[in-house]
Amino acid sequence: MWIRDGRELFQDAFRRGYALPAFNVASLEMIQACLRAAEALRAPVILQTYREEVRRVAPEAFAAMVRALAERVRVPVLLHLDHGGSLEEVFRALRAGYGSAMWDARGMGIGKVAEGVARVAPLVHGMGAALEVAAEGFSGEERSRPEEVAALFQAGADVAAVAVGSRHGEESRLDLPLLARIREAARGPFALHGGSGILPEDLEAAVRLGVVKVNVGTALYRSLRALLGRPWEHHRLFYKAVEEELMKVAEVYIRRTQAEGKA
């Protein structure tokens, strides 16, 4: 089921107390594996492309492929642009059919970011889509300030990506007291990046504190790299194995985000 406007899914997750696993995908096999897992567990799901992927393969191509496959399943499927490096990239993806996009505004002051969000959010909403915004790093060293997260929502962001200790590609513990303070200052909904390494118990607590989107990329690519090192008699056997293995990984994170059965 193709979802054009990401706001529908984010608000549903926020109201019902679960998070959407947002899988970074770069190929047909990765897309199909995640959709098979979502269908098997009756879970709404986000498929997202990193900005380097849409520079390599046009967003129009990803949108057409994901939409064609999403219309064949019975669970909600949202296509999201991850880490859009410029507003030009954000709007190209939305014009192509993406239902949500992240504007990665790291390095800019919160005042400029909030001004940009206030200017851009009405345009995004007018296109029937959602805007995720981040002005913080995700290294585990830079942490979000509650008042700045609140400013993003006041300016019109639909989802704020918060930096509370998760690390891309590494096992990490979340600063849950900080997330609780952010929740007090800004009701949410929030996104977490670096979701592959967040401990399950921390992730469960984060969902209770308003997290509705959890990015998962490293876990998929680790499994893919392990398969690449094996000898294959035929390329179709490789593609089949990729789908089977990545489906298992996707199912783990669907359960961890409590999205199972929410479709």
Q: What is the mean pLDDT of each run of 10 residues along the chain (263 residues)?
A: 95 97 96 98 97 90 96 97 92 97 87 94 97 74 88 96 88 94 94 94 97 96 88 87 95 97 96
Q: Which uninterrupted H or E stretch holds 206?
A: helix 200-208
Active-site annotation holder among 12, 82, 158, 202: 82
| Dist CA 64 CA 139 (whole Å) | 33
Number of domains in the chain: 1
Looking at the DSSP bridge assignments, the partners of residue 48 are: 24, 80
Query: CA dist 7 to 79, 83, 246, Å?
Result: 12, 18, 27
Q: Is there a catalytic annotation at residue 5? A: no
261 within some domain? no
217 within some domain? yes
Compute the CA torsion angle 125, 128, 134, 138 (nearest 10 deg).
170
Query: Residues 6 or more apart from 238 whose CB is under 8 A from it?
Result: 227, 232
Quote the pLDDT of residue 169.
77
Query: Residues 6 or more apart from 138 whose CB is under 8 A from it?
Result: 161, 163, 166, 167, 168, 193, 194
3-state secondary structure of 233: coil
262 within some domain? no
Q: For the domain that residue 86 is a member of, what is the CATH number?
A: 3.20.20.70
Quote the pLDDT of residue 259.
98
- Residue 41, phi-psi category: left (phi > 0), alpha (psi -120 to 50), beta (remainder): alpha
Quote the pLDDT of residue 205.
97
263 within some domain? no
10 within some domain? yes
Query: Residues 6 or more apart from 2 whose CB is under 8 A from it?
Result: 66, 67, 70, 71, 77
- Residue 256 has which token pair? 């961890």
39 within some domain? yes
Query: Residues 6 or more apart from 204 whose CB is under 8 A from it?
Result: 256, 258
Quote the pLDDT of residue 105.
83
Half-sphere exposure of 142 (CA within 13 A, CB side): 11
| Domain around 73 | 2-256
| Dist CA 218 CA 73 (whole Å) | 25
